Structure 1
Amino acid sequence: MAISDLDDIVSYIAAQGGPEAAERIYTRIMERIGTLSVHPARCRLVPELKDIGVDAYRELIVAPHRVFFRISGNVVGIVGVLDGRRDLAELLIRRTLFP
């Protein structure tokens, strides 16, 4: 799902701002995701999920996008990359409770 999310973001930005803009945001998001290999727990719990008692998911902000992930032992699993300007509460609940 996260790969599809990122593809959608890059395609949208390419259509609106051109391929160079799309490449810049793709690179920025991927570089920030790469930082999760060190101390991923530094990122906050996803507030929309924490409010309903789900504390297994964290987020990395790459403004205006939000990268959602889970930590399982030494593995960080990216579960979504979404535009943070959207109302994400319902979508996040559906994705996490009914994957």
Structure 2
Amino acid sequence: MYKIFVIEDAETDIFEIYRYIHLNESKSRADKFFQKIYEKILSLQKHPERGHPPKELKHLGIYEYLEIVLNPYRIIYRIINKKIFIYCVLDGRRDMQKLLQERLLRFKI
């Protein structure tokens, strides 16, 4: 089984989404979002390869990051030696090309 690490940026993303839903909809809906995102991320422990490279990164020739979707949110992660690193949880309705370049390319060496 793979071990999951949620980096600080992704934790912040989840918190901001939760807060937005809580303020604009309800605490109950925010709690449901958190439960669903938690389950989706944990599901990677058993099936990490089911994700696919984000098309925005493929255009840049970057294939080591994968994504799974909890509509409309995209969970971007990378598998390194039986470890899964969650880098970000982003709203897919935003300018993903720009967001992914800003957020992920700083990790690329």
Please give the range of the TM-score, normalised by the shorter of the 2 chains: over 0.9
2:83 is the alignment partner of 1:75:
yes
How far did residue 84 of structure 1 move?
1.0
2:71 is the alignment partner of 1:63:
yes
Cα distance in 2 between the residues matched to 1:60 and 1:29: 11
Matches within 5 A, 1:1-99: 1-99=9-107
**TM-score by structure 2 length?**
0.87
Cα distance in 2 between the residues matched to 1:51 and 1:34: 28
What amino acid does structure 2 have at the position aligned with 1:80?
C
What amino acid does structure 2 have at the position aligned with 1:22?
A
SS in 2 for 1:67: strand
- Gapped regions of structure 1 (runs ≥ 5): none
CA RMSD of aligned residues (A): 0.9
- The share of aligned pairs that are identical, in percent, is 35
SS in 2 for 1:54: coil
What amino acid does structure 1 have at the position aligned with 2:57?
L
Higher RCO, 1 or 2 (CA under 8 Å, sep at least 6)? 2
Which stretch of the first structure deviates more once superposed, 3-12 or 84-93? 84-93
SS in 1 for 2:88: strand
Cα distance in 2 between the residues matched to 1:29 and 1:96: 20
- The one-character-per-residue Cα deviations of 1:15-48 (angstroms, maximum 9, x if unpaired) are 0101000000110011011100012111111110
Cα distance in 2 between the residues matched to 1:96 and 1:20: 32
**TM-score by structure 1 length?**
0.96
Q: How many residues align?
A: 99
Cα distance in 2 between the residues matched to 1:4 and 1:30: 14
- Gapped regions of structure 2 (runs ≥ 5): 1-8
Moved over 3 A (4+): none
